């Protein structure tokens, strides 16, 4: 019996998905519950699992963008093929058909990770896949990679012509590929944020000495008691909650001509992935301990790495924190995450000379940047909010004790 594999609905606003990568080859035997393909939408990446045991047949190629509900594969129920028969039974040498020279793979070609669809196109177009750089999962060569190589004349059959092509055309080497739905959505989201909101950014700096000393003093006990490390992000989330409670106008958003003020504290934490920026939301941060917040962040990091963040993980945040410091950023002006009214940017911690009690001392300093929607938040409120965040971070014991 054959079973169709369709693109599932993953959200009301999502109408299509792109087949990012097959994780099981065409003709492979799969078991129910095994991941067979990864789908990219304009919001998340979604792994799709086999519904039954049987032989998988691909009905769509990597890179195809299809409507929700489209059939992308089928599974023919049956027993797993006997490996021993496949491996040991061979036809007599004289009866084996000879392969055409063009179909034989070179020694290097046989070691290349390549999708079945890409392999077929490479054979048809005469492209040596060993010369193609793969952009798929794990460096796998995909359909789009082969098509791009074919269009540039990357053919093993004509190396001389390939070498001469740049000189004849005067062109420079490039790689062209279609933007993923997620990347297109991010681009649209960021541009709309700048068009629709009156974004202004205010800056301050924070002395990280006390937080660093506190973490050093209690880190071992914290890990022993809670099983997670005490990082910087939980301090920032708690500081933001304190500041939102002190300046509630930043915990508000516009809906039409109405101003909606939130009385809960679900904080988004921007996470960079190989597919783009995502902002999973840590819920009820005012009610959670530092350890619970750290565990939530770890769980999201694992889900982001595995491509398993769902729509529900990304919705409902009231404020966002982004940490450019982990990439070495010294200062930036973050873009709002609509419909939120504020976003806090963290940056690199650097040893800098500062004046303290009339003396110049060296301290670990971090620049803080608050971007806010000036339609909702006045400058005085924004500065008050950022100063409150700074005060909380420079006196972290108050947050730990709930004072």
Q: How confident is the model at residue 132 (pLDDT cuts 50, 70, 90)?
A: confident
Q: Where are the alpha helices (DSSP H) in 36-115?
A: 83-88
List the Cα angle 192/197/200 in 5-degree steps: 120
Nearest to 248 by CA among 235, 234, 237, 259: 259
Does residue 144 surpass a pLDDT of 90? Answer: no
Mean pLDDT of 149-156: 55
Average pLDDT of every residue of the chain: 83
Tens of pLDDT along 179-209? 777 777 778 878 888 888 999 999 999 999 9
Mean pLDDT of 98-109: 43
Of residues 119 and 35, more confidently modeled: 35
Active site residue 67: no
Catalytic annotation, pick one of 67, 221, 306, 378: 378
Does residue 267 surpass a pLDDT of 50? Answer: yes
Q: How confident is the model at residue 136 (pLDDT cuts 50, 70, 90)?
A: low
Mean pLDDT of 223-236: 96
Domains of the chain: 2-76 (2.40.50.100), 100-169 (no CATH), 182-401 (3.30.559.10)
Please state which of the ranges 12-16, 60-64, 319-323, 396-400 shows the lowest mean pLDDT.
12-16
Of residues 199 and 67, more confidently modeled: 199
| pLDDT score of 97 | 44
| pLDDT score of 170 | 57
Nearest to 308 by CA among 46, 50, 17: 46
Q: Where are the alpha helices (DSSP H) in 110-175?
A: 116-125, 143-151, 159-169
Give the DSSP per-residue string, 203-228. EEEEE-HHHHHHHHHHHHHHHHHHSS
Please state which of the ranges 120-129, 281-290, 383-392 shows the lowest mean pLDDT.
120-129
Of residues 356 and 115, more confidently modeled: 356
What does the alpha-carbon distance between residue 143 and residue 58 come to, in Å, rounded to a whole number? 14
Please state which of the ranges 32-41, 194-203, 231-240, 379-388 shows the lowest mean pLDDT.
32-41
| pLDDT score of 92 | 44
Q: 3-state class of 340 per DSSP?
A: coil
Mean pLDDT of 207-228: 96
Does residue 238 surpass a pLDDT of 90? Answer: yes
Active site residue 374: yes
């Amino acid at each position: 019996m054959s079973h169709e594999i369709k693109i599932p609905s993953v959200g009301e606003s999502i109408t299509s998905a792109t087949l990012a990568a097959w994780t099981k080859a065409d003709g492979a035997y799969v078991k129910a519950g095994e991941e067979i393909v990864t789908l990219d939408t304009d919001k998340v990446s979604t792994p799709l699992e086999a519904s039954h045991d049987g032989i998988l047949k691909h009905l769509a190629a990597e890179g195809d963008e299809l409507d929700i509900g489209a059939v992308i594969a089928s599974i023919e129920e049956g027993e797993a093929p006997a490996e021993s028969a496949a491996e040991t039974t061979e036809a007599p040498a004289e009866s084996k058909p000879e392969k055409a020279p063009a179909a034989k793979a070179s020694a290097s070609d046989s070691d290349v990770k390549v999708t079945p669809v890409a392999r077929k196109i490479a054979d048809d177009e005469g492209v040596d896949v060993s010369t193609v750089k793969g952009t798929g999962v794990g460096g796998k060569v995909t359909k789009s990679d082969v098509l791009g190589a074919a269009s540039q004349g990357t053919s093993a059959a004509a190396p001389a012509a390939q070498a001469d092509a740049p000189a004849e055309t005067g062109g420079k080497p490039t790689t062209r590929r279609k933007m993923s739905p997620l990347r297109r959505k991010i681009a649209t989201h960021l541009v709309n944020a700048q068009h629709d909101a009156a974004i202004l950014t205010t800056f301050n700096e924070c002395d990280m000495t006390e937080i660093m000393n506190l973490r050093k003093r209690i880190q071992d006990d914290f890990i022993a008691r809670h099983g997670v490390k005490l990082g910087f992000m939980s301090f920032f989330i708690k500081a933001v909650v304190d500041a939102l409670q002190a300046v509630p106008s930043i915990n508000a958003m516009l809906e039409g001509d109405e101003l909606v003020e939130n009385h809960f504290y679900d904080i988004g934490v921007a996470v960079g992935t190989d597919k783009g920026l995502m902002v999973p939301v840590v819920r009820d941060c005012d009610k959670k301990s530092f350890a619970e917040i750290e565990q939530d962040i770890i769980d999201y990091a694992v889900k982001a790495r595995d491509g398993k963040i769902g729509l529900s993980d990304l919705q409902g945040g009231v404020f966002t924190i982004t940490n450019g410091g982990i990439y070495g950023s010294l200062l930036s002006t973050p873009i709002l995450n609509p419909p939120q009214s504020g976003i806090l940017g963290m940056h690199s911690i650097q040893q800098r000379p500062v004046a303290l009690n009339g003396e110049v001392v060296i301290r670990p300093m971090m620049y803080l940047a608050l971007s806010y929607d000036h339609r909702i938040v006045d400058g005085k409120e924004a500065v008050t909010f950022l100063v409150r965040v700074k005060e909380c971070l420079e006196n972290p014991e108050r947050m730990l004790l709930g004072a």
